[in-house]
């Protein structure tokens, strides 16, 4: 006989497209809880139906009222409660953070049943450095704010991972092309699904490709760390000359070093010669 689950919150990751990715432990836990808190009862209802389960569903997101959160915490204090999102791992650009904070503050046990998350699937596919990465959620939808975020992240020596939507891909690639022009970028689309694709190249290559083939479906966008691409001296010099049109030598050297990972002191020496 299977041991009943202890009271507490069970964060359960669910598939991001391929239902075969639901883990045996996720199924056992979903089948053993008193209720499932979820973003959309129709979406989670379909998953439970597929798994042959009929647990009670309670709609929840981080904007839910305190009364809803208190109701869930009340359940979790005395019975097992699952938290799922529409797809993937809860709390990763999905609801759950506020519930976990409140549960921990009250001493309610929280455990996580790991499984798919699009950011990690994309990172394993993209062929970009995976030893250090920074997950930055969705880029802002307004162009100015998007560029500010990219400028803020530009010097971070890690692969940048963003969630994206098909209608906004072109605008994000354009902003990356202008803020981080020499980086290799990867677009990972429809992961774990029939039309899974992972395409990498320069921002300009990808802008041209997706202008000719408008993307559909769900997308993760990845940007290589600075210095990861090989920039020839000629490329560096060309960028330096362009930068010197509007910047002082020290600023031009710093900007090109930021974009390329080339040595700032050597660029500065060359900038003084060119000036
Ligand atoms: N919590 C989820 C996770 O762990 O992956 C992410 C939820 S977030 C609201 C939805 C975003 O995740 C999509 O806009 C897309 O960027 C990414 N995503 C989810 N499923 C995906 C898939 N199958 N292929 C590519 N990206 C996906």
Report the atom number in ligand 1 closest to the C-alpha of 116. 4
Measured from the CB, is residue 180 less than 6 Å from ligand 1?
Answer: no
Which of 47, 51, 28, 50 minimizes the C-alpha distance to 39? 47
How do residues 7-57 score in pLDDT, each as one tens digit?
999 999 999 999 999 999 999 999 999 999 999 999 999 999 999 999 999
Of ligand 1's listed atoms, the one at least distance from the Cα of 193 is 23
**Whose alpha carbon is nearest atom 19 of ligand 1?**
118
CATH number assigned to the domain covering 119-223: 3.30.950.10
Distance 32 CA to ligand 1 centre (A): 27
The response to whether residue 39 sits with its C-beta less than 6 Å from ligand 1 reads: no
Tokens of residue 169, six digits: 């891909």
Span from the CA of 218 to the centroid of ligand 1 (angstroms): 6
Q: How far is the CA of 15 from the centre of ligand 1 (A)?
A: 10
Residues in the chain where the model's pLDDT stays below 50: none
What's the confidence (pLDDT) of residue 15? 98
Return the ligand 1 atom nearest residue 92 CA: 1
Does ligand 1 lie within 6 Å of residue 43's CB atom?
no
Q: Burial code of 49-76, b = ≥16 C-beta within 10 A, e = fewer?
A: eebeeebebbebbeebeeebbebbbebb
pLDDT (0 to 100) of residue 229: 58
- Work out the number of other CB atoms within 10 angstroms of the CB of residue 174: 16
Q: What is the pLDDT of residue 247?
A: 87
Residues 160, 13: Cα–Cα separation, whole Å: 23
| pLDDT reported for residue 228 | 63
CATH code reported for the domain at 8-116: 3.40.1010.10
Q: Is the CB of 85 under 6 A from ligand 1?
A: yes
Q: Ligand 1: which residue has its CA nearest to atom 2?
A: 88
- The model carries a pTM of 0.85
Please tell me the predicted confidence (pLDDT) of residue 212. Answer: 97
14 Cβ below 6 A of ligand 1: no
d(CA 185, CA 199) in angstroms, rounded, equals: 8
Q: Is the CB of 207 under 6 A from ligand 1?
A: no
Cβ of 16 less than 6 Å from ligand 1? yes
In this prediction, residue 257 carries a pLDDT of: 82
Bridge partners, 83 (sequence order): 11, 37
């Amino acid at each position: 006989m299977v041991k009943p689950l202890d009271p507490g919150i069970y964060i359960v990751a669910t598939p991001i497209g391929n239902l075969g990715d639901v883990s045996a432990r996720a199924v056992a836990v979903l089948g053993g809880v008193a209720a499932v808190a979820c973003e959309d009862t129709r979406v989670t209802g379909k998953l439970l139906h597929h798994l042959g389960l009929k647990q009670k569903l309670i709609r929840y997101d981080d904007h839910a009222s305190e009364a809803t959160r208190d109701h869930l915490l009340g359940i979790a204090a005395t019975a097992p409660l699952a938290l799922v999102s529409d797809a993937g791992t809860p709390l990763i650009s999905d609801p759950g953070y506020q519930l976990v904070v409140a549960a921990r503050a009250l001493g309610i046990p929280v455990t996580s049943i790991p499984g798919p998350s699009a950011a990690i699937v994309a990172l394993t596919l993209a062929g970009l450095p995976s030893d250090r990465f920074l997950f930055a959620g969705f880029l802002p939808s307004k162009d100015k704010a998007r560029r500010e975020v990219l400028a803020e992240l530009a010097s971070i020596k890690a692969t940048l991972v963003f969630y994206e939507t098909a209608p906004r891909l072109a605008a994000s690639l354009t902003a990356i092309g202008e803020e981080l022009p020499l980086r290799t970028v990867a677009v990972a689309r429809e992961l774990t699904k029939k039309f899974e694709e992972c395409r990498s190249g320069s921002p300009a290559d990808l802008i041209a490709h997706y202008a000719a083939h408008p993307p559909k479906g769900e997308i993760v966008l990845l940007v290589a760390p600075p210095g990861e691409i090989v920039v020839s001296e000629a490329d560096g010099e060309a960028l330096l000359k362009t930068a010197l049109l509007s910047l002082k030598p020290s600023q031009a050297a710093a900007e090109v070093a930021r974009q390329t990972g080339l040595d700032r002191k050597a660029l500065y020496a060359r900038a003084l010669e060119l000036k």
